Amino acid sequence: MLLFRSLKYYNYRLFFTGQSISLIGTWMQRVAISWLVYRLTGSPFILGLISFASLFPSLILAPFAGSLVDRHNKFKIFWFTQIILMLQAGTLALMVWLNYYNILWIGILSLIQGLVTSLDVTARQSLVVNLVDLKEDIPNAIALNSSVFNGARLIGPAIAGVILSSFGENICFLINFLSYIAVLVCLLLMKIKITVPKKSTENIWFDLKEGFRYLKASPNISSLILLMASSSLLVIPYTTFLPVFAKDIFNGDATTFSWFESCGGLGALIGAIYMATLKSHRNFTKIIIRSSFILSISVLGLALSPSLIIGLLFAASGALGLMAQNSSINTYLQTHTDDNMRGRTMSYYIMAFQGVLPIGALMMGYFAHLFGTVLVVALEGIAGILIMISFILYRKHRLKEAKSR
């Protein structure tokens, strides 16, 4: 079947299976942390601060992570990061079970998660091309990864909503801890040979400069990374405020919040399935533009929603646009980057997405504290529309320059 063609590869099947199980636990933990923080503080700003702690390390460390992945065995790096993330989830579960926790400890553990994830995501993204044999199946493998992520986003929060209401946050953390066993077992079963690059005689700063020069010489790649960074700074932070919409704006509870996360997961899953059906020769730039407009208009619609049902619909369409935007940018970068620069290029993509996002979350959290969540989210949607108009004008200018040469 065309949609699942990457699953014919043994190693990719194992990778897909392990991630399918583990990411459900990851999303349960995300929902539980957001709800726990907002339950303890009632502050949109603190929500943004915790998001900042978990994602900010990617801004600083992602380029270094890319250089490390290009220099060393990415499979072993991925194995190591999974073990550390498993221990982080177990520590959270134990602390909440013993009732020995506060915002400071949650922030510290979120920071640890961010430090490890900056390396984990770079290794995982770079590893995908080694799990499929044919280059034309790489876009499908990337899209299926997104399907797994967003399928988990659909299922995880739905389960988390029931568990949060019935048993509390610590069970969500415990399930996430146990879910990493599936990843480790699948990694053990893999039959994979990674060609470790010849050990570089240059220091890591040379690799960083080389990666930056590569981006500077590749305007199509660098413009997409800048688009991703702008979106992460000014548009995507709307996701931080979903607990506020659930609890304060629509007068709900933990279950209402889980509905928002699950609707987002459903929309993103639909987007991922669409991306998985595309072939490698498709014009991904057009998909990036369309999906970015869907994201921005949906964010504006969410802010202006007169009812919970309409808000949930815009949460779903926003997640669809966000997923298609990220997946199409990811696919373009993976398929248009030289093999020896892939780790560094993907690290800049991760820095633009996960690294810039916490700055946006912190900034938007502060503005929401001053001016109100609804106004700030509405402005995020407008900012996204303006960003895309600028991107289209830039592309037209580049095309006109190319024709005049």
144 close to 7: Cβ distance less than 8 angstroms? yes
What pLDDT band is residue 405 in, cutting at 50, 70 and 90? low
What pLDDT band is residue 203 in, cutting at 50, 70 and 90? low
Region of poorest pLDDT, from 124-133, 243-252, 320-329: 124-133
pLDDT of residue 205: 62
pLDDT of residue 363: 87
User: CB-based burial of residue 396 (10 Å sphere; 0-12 exposed, 13-18 middle, 19+ buried)?
Assistant: exposed
Which letter does DSSP use for residue 237 in this model? G
Q: CA-CA distance, 396 to 364, in Å (whole number)?
A: 31
pLDDT of residue 222: 84
pLDDT of residue 389: 93
Of 49-58, 224-233, 321-330, where does the model show the most confidence? 224-233
Q: CA-CA distance, 281 to 161, in Å (whole number)?
A: 41
Whether this model's pTM surpasses 0.95? no
List the structure tokens of 30.
Answer: 């995300």
Task: Write down the mean pLDDT value for the chain.
Answer: 82
Q: CA-CA distance, 257 to 31, in Å (whole number)?
A: 8
pLDDT digits (tens, 9 = 90+) for 55-111: 777 667 766 776 777 677 778 888 889 999 999 999 988 888 888 777 888 888 888
Please say if the pLDDT value at position 226 is more than 60: yes
**Percent of the chain predicted with pLDDT > 70:** 89
Please say if the pLDDT value at position 208 is more than 70: no
What pLDDT band is residue 184 in, cutting at 50, 70 and 90? very high
Average pLDDT over every residue of 159-177: 85
